[in-house]
Amino acid sequence: MSTTPPSTLTSTREAYSGTPPGHVPLSNTFDWCFSQPFSSANDYTPQAQVLDKIEDERPIFVDNASDRKLTFGQMRSDALALAAGLLSLGLNPSDIIKLPPTPTCPQGPEIAPIVLIQLPNSLAFAPVLLGTLAAGLTATLVSPALTSDEIAWILQNSRPRAIITAKACLGAMREALEKQEPRDRAFFDAVPIFTFDAAKDHYPSVSSSSPPTSDWKVLLRSSRATVVPSSFLPSSASPARTAVILWSSGTSGRSKGVLLSHHALNFSGAHMWHDASDYHSLAKVRQQRWLGYVPFYHVFGLCNIVLLAIMTGSTVYVMPSFSLDGMLAAIPKRKITYLHMAPPIAVMLAKAPVVEKYAKRDPKTGKNGFSSIVAAVTGGAPLGHEVVVEVYKRCGFRVRLGYGLSETCSTSLQRGTSEKEMVEQAGETGVPHWGVEVMIADMDVPAPGLVDGKTKAARIGQEGEILIRSPTLLNAYLPVGMFRTPKGQEPDMSVTREALTADGWFRTGDVGTISAQGRLRITDRLKELIKVRAYQVAPAELEAVLCSSPSVADAGVVGVYDESEATEWPRAYVVPHKPEALENKMELEKLAHELRVLVEKRTTKYKWLMGGVMFVKQIPKSPSGKILRRVLKSGGEDTKGVEIQVYQKKKRGAAAASKL
C-alpha cells in the first residue's frame, strides 16, 4: 500500500510529481463496479477507506423530485437484462475493430459495436450504460443539448449499431440521420432507436402494461438467457477494449472521440477513493450522499459520480439539470456530504443573494443549510481563489480545485478541508492522485521534446506544458473517417500521435508549474494565451482579478488583434452583479473605470485591458464550465452588449491615457 506523502514525491531538480501506477486488478467495468472493490484493504484501498458490504437494498440513485429509488441490486439485475436485450438485436461483442498500437495501448485499442447513449441525468442512465458494458459493447455518450449538425458528425464517425436517446432529442437525432450521405443511408436506416421519455418515465417502478416497442424498457424484457459479462470481455482485454467514447470539443474545432478503456475507468475510481480520506474517513462520514446534476455524459459526472457511487455504495440524488434553487433546497433536505460542481456554481454560491438564507447560521447551534457538507470539488475550468475564500466564509465549506480532462479522467486534487490548507494551496490544483504522474515539459526543447528517448522535464517552478501519464489515459482518439478507411490501409492516427509522446505522456495543452511540494498550478491554455507584443497574458489570471470584484458576477477574457500595433490586446467580457446595470450606460462606465483601476493595481502594464470592456448578460460556457473563447472571439449574439473603452490610444505607439 502506498504510504509515501505527496511532498516527498517531487524531484528536487525536475518538475515532476506523483507516483507510478500501483496494482489495480484487470476487470471489465461492469464486474468491477458490482464487485465492491473497496471492501478490503489493498494497494488502492487504505485501511481507513475500507467500506462495509453494500446490501442489495441500498439506494444508489434517487430521483430528487419524486424520491423514486434505484437500488444496488436492481441496478445490477436491470443492467444484465438490458445487456441481454442489446445482444438480442444481433450486436456481436466479438465484432472488434482493432486500431494500430499507441504509446498508451501497445497491443492496439479495440472498439466493439457501438451503442449511442444520449440521455439526461436520470435513473435510467446507469443501467443503460452498465448494460451496454456488460454486453461487451462500446458506449458513446452524447450530450442531449447537441444540435443536429453536431450529432450528425458523431454519427458519421462512430456509426453506432443502436441508439438510446431522450424523446426530447428525437427530432434532432432524426435530422442528424437525414444528413448522412446517401451511401450511408442503408446502414443508418437499419439502426434501431429506443427512447427515454423524461416527463413520463417512472423507472424503476413496474408497469403492468407493456412499454411501446420504441421505449428503452423493452430491452429489459428480452427472453435471452442471463448475460455473463466476463464471457464477452475477459479481464485480460480490459486495458485495450474501449468501454466509452467521450466527445471532447476543447476550445475550438469539431469534437474528437476519446477512447477510454474498461481499465481506465476502473483505475480512475480506485485512485479517487484511495485519496478520499480527508472528506470521508477523517470526516467520519459513514455513507456519502451526493447531488447528481453534473452531466453524467461528461467525464466529471461519469467517473466522479456515476461509477464511483456504484463502487462505493454512495447515494446520488439525481437532478436532470442544474438549478440553483433546486440545489440549495436539496442540500439540507438530503444532508449532502460532498458537492461536485462546475466553477460557475461556486461563483453563484459566493455572490447570489438567494444563497444568504441558507448560509445564515442558527444562533443556538451555529449550523446553517450547508453544515452537512464536508467539502466540495470543482474542475473543468479555472476558478479564482477569491471565489473559493468567499464560499468558505459565506457557506462554511472549502471548494477544492481538481484537474482532469476527458482524455485523462481525474488527475489531481487539492488536499484537506481546512481554512489553513485552503490559504496554503491558493491558486493550485493539488497533487496528483495515487498512480498518476504529472510533469512539466521543458518548452525550450522542440516538441516532442525527447532526450535519450525520454521527454525532457522543466525545472521546479518553471512554466511549461503539463504532461500526464497514468492508466487512466485515453488509448487513442477515434480516427476521423475510420469506417471508410479502405481495407488494408491504416486509419488516420495523426491526432493521437500529436497528443501522446513516445514514452506515454499525454500533452494537455495546458500551461503550468509544479512547486517543490509537488503541487500543480495551471496558468492557462497554450492556444489561449494572449500575445501582447513579446509577452504572454493568461486570460484566467485576468478573469480571477475581475471576478474578485463584488460588482462582477462573471467574466471572460480574450485577445483582440490590433492591426495598427501588430499585437493582441486583452478584452474583458463582464457580467455585472446587478443585471439592471446593463440598462444604465453611466453606471457601466463607472464600473468599467473601477475594473480598470483594479486590473492596473493587480497586474503589470502589458496585461491591462487595452481591448476594452464589453458588458454582457452571460459568458458562453461549455457544460463543464469552460469559457467558450471562440464564441467570444466570433462576435456573435452571445458577445453583444455595451462596450466601454477604458483606454484611448494615442496616434502613435501603444501609450494609453484614460478615456474616463
The answer on pLDDT for 363 being more than 90 is yes
Mean pLDDT score, 191-199: 96
The answer on pLDDT for 389 being more than 70 is yes
Whether residues 350 and 305 share a domain: the answer is yes
d(CA 54, CA 151): 38
CB 226 within 8 A of CB 135: no
**Residue 520 forms part of a structural domain:** no
The answer on pLDDT for 653 being more than 50 is no
Whether residues 156 and 230 share a domain: the answer is yes
d(CA 25, CA 568): 51
The answer on pLDDT for 510 being more than 60 is yes
Q: Supply the pLDDT for residue 573.
A: 96
Whether residues 374 and 503 share a domain: the answer is yes
Mean pLDDT score, 497-518: 93
Of 448, 482, 512, which residue constitutes the final position of a domain?
512
Q: What is the pTM assigned to this prediction?
A: 0.83
Mean pLDDT score, 277-289: 86
**Residue 1 forms part of a structural domain:** no
**pLDDT band of 5, cuts 50, 70, 90:** very low
Q: Supply the pLDDT for residue 250.
A: 47
> How many domains does the structure of the chain reveal?
2
Q: Supply the pLDDT for residue 595.
A: 97
**Residue 524 forms part of a structural domain:** no
DSSP letter, residue 333: H
**Residue 2 forms part of a structural domain:** no
d(CA 53, CA 35): 10
Q: What is the pLDDT of residues 582-595, one digit of tens each?
A: 999 999 999 999 99
The answer on pLDDT for 488 being more than 90 is no
Higher pLDDT, 284 or 656: 284
Q: What is the pLDDT of residues 213-253, one digit of tens each?
A: 899 999 998 877 778 888 888 899 999 999 999 998 644 45
Range of the domain at 268: 12-512
Whether residues 278 and 327 share a domain: the answer is yes
Q: Supply the pLDDT for residue 400.
A: 95
Whether residues 495 and 539 share a domain: the answer is no
Q: Supply the pLDDT for residue 249.
A: 60
Whether residues 276 and 422 share a domain: the answer is yes
- Mean per-residue pLDDT of the chain: 89
CB 403 within 8 A of CB 522: yes
The answer on pLDDT for 535 being more than 70 is no
Whether residues 456 and 582 share a domain: the answer is no
The answer on pLDDT for 436 being more than 80 is yes
Whether residues 44 and 122 share a domain: the answer is yes
Residue written as cell 494537455? 508
Looking at residue 420, which CATH number applies to its domain?
3.40.50.12780
Whether residues 473 and 600 share a domain: the answer is no
Residue written as cell 453494500? 54
**pLDDT band of 447, cuts 50, 70, 90:** low
Whether residues 366 and 493 share a domain: the answer is yes
CB 406 within 8 A of CB 248: yes
**Residue 5 forms part of a structural domain:** no
The answer on pLDDT for 451 being more than 70 is no
Handedness of CA 636, 637, 639, 643 (dihedral sign): positive
What percentage of the chain carries pLDDT values higher than 90?
71
What is the enclosing helix (H) or strand (E) of 509?
A: strand 506-514
The answer on pLDDT for 202 being more than 90 is yes
The answer on pLDDT for 547 being more than 80 is yes
**pLDDT band of 75, cuts 50, 70, 90:** very high
Mean pLDDT score, 52-71: 97
**pLDDT band of 9, cuts 50, 70, 90:** very low
Residue 328 amino acid letter: L
Higher pLDDT, 627 or 167: 167
Q: What is the pLDDT of residues 28-60, one digit of tens each?
A: 999 999 999 999 999 999 999 999 999 999 999
Whether residues 540 and 504 share a domain: the answer is no
Q: What is the pLDDT of residues 244-258, one digit of tens each?
A: 999 986 444 578 999
Mean pLDDT score, 13-19: 92
**pLDDT band of 302, cuts 50, 70, 90:** very high
**Residue 3 forms part of a structural domain:** no
Whether residues 182 and 48 share a domain: the answer is yes
Mean pLDDT score, 360-369: 95
**Residue 457 forms part of a structural domain:** yes
**Residue 523 forms part of a structural domain:** no
Q: What is the largest CA-CA distance in the chain?
A: 81
Q: What is the pLDDT of residues 635-647, one digit of tens each?
A: 777 778 999 999 9
Mean pLDDT score, 149-160: 93
Of 459, 479, 512, which residue constitutes the final position of a domain?
512
Most confident of 239-253, 263-277, 341-355: 263-277
Higher pLDDT, 345 or 281: 345
Of 451, 477, 512, which residue constitutes the final position of a domain?
512
d(CA 121, CA 200): 15
Cβ count within 10 A of residue 314: 22
Cell of 86: 442489446
